[in-house]
Structure 1
Amino acid sequence: MTQQHPLKNHHFYLIFPNIFEFKGGVQVYSAFLLKSLQELYPDANYDIFIKYDKNDSKNLQNLQFLPHTKFHYFGHFPRLLQTILLAITIIVQGIWQRPSLVISTHINYAIACYILQRINGVPYWFIAHGTEVWSTERKSHKLVLQGAEKVIAVSEYTRQRIIKEQNIDTDKIHILFNTFDSKQFQIKSKPTYLLQRYNITPNQPIILTVARLGRMAQHKGYDQILHALVKIRQHIPNIHYILAGKGDDRPRIQTLITSLNLDDCVTLPGFLTDEELCDHYNLCDVFAMPSQGEGFGIVFLEALACGKPVLAGNQDGSVQPLVSGELGCLVDPNDVEDIATKLIEIIQGHYGNKMVYNPEGLRKRTIELFELNQFKTTLAALLSSNLK
């Protein structure tokens, strides 16, 4: 159990894109960061600035926050006004309150942190996830990088990309891996209600991908899996692929499915609720997302915690949750032939790394490395140098 910090007068500003109305990697990371901070510093004050969410008393009733937590919502304003008001509120309130530390979970919202730091010296961190930081040329991003007290990378891959492509002090770049709640993701049998919903038999092999299906998210690799299915069906005729998620790329995806004659073996169920997410991991026989622009990939941890074989790309942060191939299969995300071959091997039980067929071993190792308690321990160590 991580020890609480003995001081009681800390004040944290946290800047999130959203945590209530949409659940992506940044949002999940943000929620875990808030939860961990409040467990480490239960006597601190918290101001949470949320750009896209609207004031929702129902959400607040369903979640537990410390009584001295104040939320500032900007989602009810027009999009351009959101950005302006978010920055102004943080700067003006920050000048008056002088918080102990400001943390932004995305670089896009950290320019207000930089301005506040320049005015009255309040230190700030921001979380570096992936493509938004790796090779950014935006002047505002470069200012944020230079001024940050700490840059928190979600993976070693992201840290190395920042070091390689951005001219900043390497000593300020630290790693705080993505995490998951092991109580939420556990090993279970295939849920009967999902088999019935998708008209799938209990012995029918299932490939699952959970990703944002946006035009800017095609790097997730679902196109490659769809193309690979053409070969996979030749060896495993009853294969079924569930591609879960929502986004503006769905019409193009559906057109691709039809053009490849895959309508009868692909399901697009849309967004998965928290209540059904674990069940979908347990429904599948292999979780596959051969991305090439992933900073880390929380979904990999969730699938591994459910004891599932995982296939991921070998050219981005996906290498981290799979521990360089120890816990799964890494492939060239551009090699459709190899993706198809490896998925066939995994499903037929012939893949060389036998760890992928050890559900309890996958879960145990994933918990050891990435579970929430480890996240909180690392966060406490990072904070100890800032909060005296």
Structure 2
Amino acid sequence: MQTINFEKPKSAMTDSLHLWFPNLFEFKGGIQVYLQDVLQAIQELLPNLSVSILDNLDRNKPVDKFNSNNYLFTFSGSFPGFLRTLHFTFNLILKALIHRPNFILCGHINFAPIAFLLHRITGIPYGIIVYGIDAWEIKSIWKIKALYAAEKIISISSYTRDRLINEQNLSPDKIELLPVTFDAERFKLSSKPNYLLERYGLKPNQPVILTVTRLSSDDGYKGYDQIIQALPEIKHYIPDVHYILAGKGDDQPRIEQLIAQLNLQDSVTLTGFVPDRELCDHYNLCDVFAMPSKKEGFGIVYLEALACGKPVLGGNKDGAIDALCHGELGALVNPDDVEEISQILIEILQGVYPNSLMYQPEALRQKVIDTFGFDRFQKTLANHLDGHFKATKNK
């Protein structure tokens, strides 16, 4: 892909990269974790590069993260509402005009129209990271213009890439993949933790289905409703099966009502918030991780569960297709078909699902590390940035 050349003012001849991020630290979601991984990879690949990080929602950063002398953070989160947006936008434009970076990377498509206008004025090339529903069925003419004028679009999954190509008639050559990664040092194989067995009143050999997600009324597409509805059928074949739904959110009262309607109070545990230090233990507590979602951009939770050697079930209508490598690493089901979900979960728990890799914990863990580990993520990102900056780490 050809790099757009432009003249920098003499006062701004140092190579620099501008990163425009929604937030990184004060709220932890899939986008925030992904962008922290991007930042970490850049810090290791290009330790001498001048990097400006403009953060819309955070007020500050943790003292123990990203302390490179070449990193300059600008936070807008201390301002309320409209003033925050104004402060953030003003700094995007002002700093780009003053510093003339080699490249601008938009961490969300909402920022892309500003990058597009700056590109028209200054020639500064830019890229856009796209995730899932943020990039599906785009109607905004300015976002569409920004997509066409971007030097590159980085998608976290082939599913989102393919939707963009089909919906916006974009050239496949414009969109590059940078799949989600995960921390393989945090998520490892282990036996079922005794303290969680005691906490949830479970027996060591009791079959456990696990979902880890936000219980948000805006995230009803995650598929936990379908698992709860599938439980009566699953219990017919596996009477002592237990479903653990880990997470918190405003959807919990509705879920509790559904559990009561199906008389599943003894078969379902809503854990509420699970701290990071207990997350790996929860994966190791289960016998299958299931999240038959249908609007997931990718789903880092699938990778974390696989790294703990657990069989995984995901939906076949979203980015889970990428996370599970089109079924190589796990089971893909129609997320709207409760009968299929129950049948596949029964097969997995009975050990008869026709994918032997799902029952080889060590091999499953190694496969997900080889495919989605941080080293692979870093090498892929280095290739994407190669037209603008030369990475110092071996690729």
TM norm. shorter chain > 0.5: yes
For the residues of structure 1 that align with 2:27 and 2:234, how far apart are their CA atoms?
A: 33
Q: 1:40-79 alignment to 2 at 5 Å?
A: 40-56=45-61, 59-61=62-64, 63-79=65-81
Aligned alpha-carbon RMSD (Å)? 1.7
Q: 1:206-225 alignment to 2 at 5 Å?
A: 206-225=208-227
For the residues of structure 2 that align with 1:197 and 1:146, how far apart are their CA atoms?
A: 53
Residue identity (%): 50
Residue aligning to 1:227: 229
Structure 2 residue runs without a partner (length 5+): 1-12, 391-395
Counterpart residue identity of residue 255, structure 1: Q
Q: Note the C-alpha offset of 1:154.
A: 0.8
Q: 1:93-172 alignment to 2 at 5 Å?
A: 93-172=95-174
SS at 2:245's partner residue?
strand
Residue aligning to 1:204: 206
For the residues of structure 1 that align with 2:66 and 2:86, how far apart are their CA atoms?
A: 29
Matched, 1:15 2:17: no
Deviations 1:183-209 (A, max 9, x none): 111111111222222222211111111
Q: Note the C-alpha offset of 1:144.
A: 2.1
Deviations 1:48-94 (A, max 9, x none): 122222225xx223x24312212222222223332222111111111
> Which range is displaced more, 139-148 or 303-312?
139-148
Deviations 1:146-186 (A, max 9, x none): 22111101111111111000133322111111111211111
For the residues of structure 2 that align with 1:137 and 1:123, how far apart are their CA atoms?
A: 23
Aligned to 1:34, which of 25, 34, 39?
A: 39
- CA 1:262 to 1:84, structure 2 compared with 1: closer, same or farther past 3 Å? farther
Residue aligning to 1:25: 30
For the residues of structure 2 that align with 1:182 and 1:312, how far apart are their CA atoms?
A: 20
For the residues of structure 2 that align with 1:41 and 1:177, how far apart are their CA atoms?
A: 20
Structure 1 residue runs without a partner (length 5+): 1-7
For the residues of structure 2 that align with 1:127 and 1:328, how far apart are their CA atoms?
A: 26
Deviations 1:258-281 (A, max 9, x none): 222222222222233221211111
Counterpart residue identity of residue 116, structure 2: Y
Report how many residues are paired: 378
- CA 1:126 to 1:372, structure 2 compared with 1: closer, same or farther past 3 Å? same
Counterpart residue identity of residue 25, structure 1: G
Deviations 1:3-47 (A, max 9, x none): xxxxx9432221222221222111111010000001010001222
For the residues of structure 1 that align with 2:301 and 2:119, how far apart are their CA atoms?
A: 35
For the residues of structure 1 that align with 2:344 and 2:171, how far apart are their CA atoms?
A: 40
Aligned to 2:281, which of 274, 279, 282?
A: 279
Structure 1: 4+ residue segments shifted above 4 A? none
Would the aligned equivalents of 1:212 and 1:246 in 2 still touch at CA under 8 Å? Answer: yes
Would the aligned equivalents of 1:91 and 1:115 in 2 still touch at CA under 8 Å? Answer: no
Residue aligning to 1:320: 322
- CA 1:340 to 1:107, structure 2 compared with 1: closer, same or farther past 3 Å? same
For the residues of structure 1 that align with 2:263 and 2:58, how far apart are their CA atoms?
A: 40
Counterpart residue identity of residue 172, structure 1: K
Would the aligned equivalents of 1:220 and 1:291 in 2 still touch at CA under 8 Å? Answer: yes
Q: 1:184-333 alignment to 2 at 5 Å?
A: 184-333=186-335
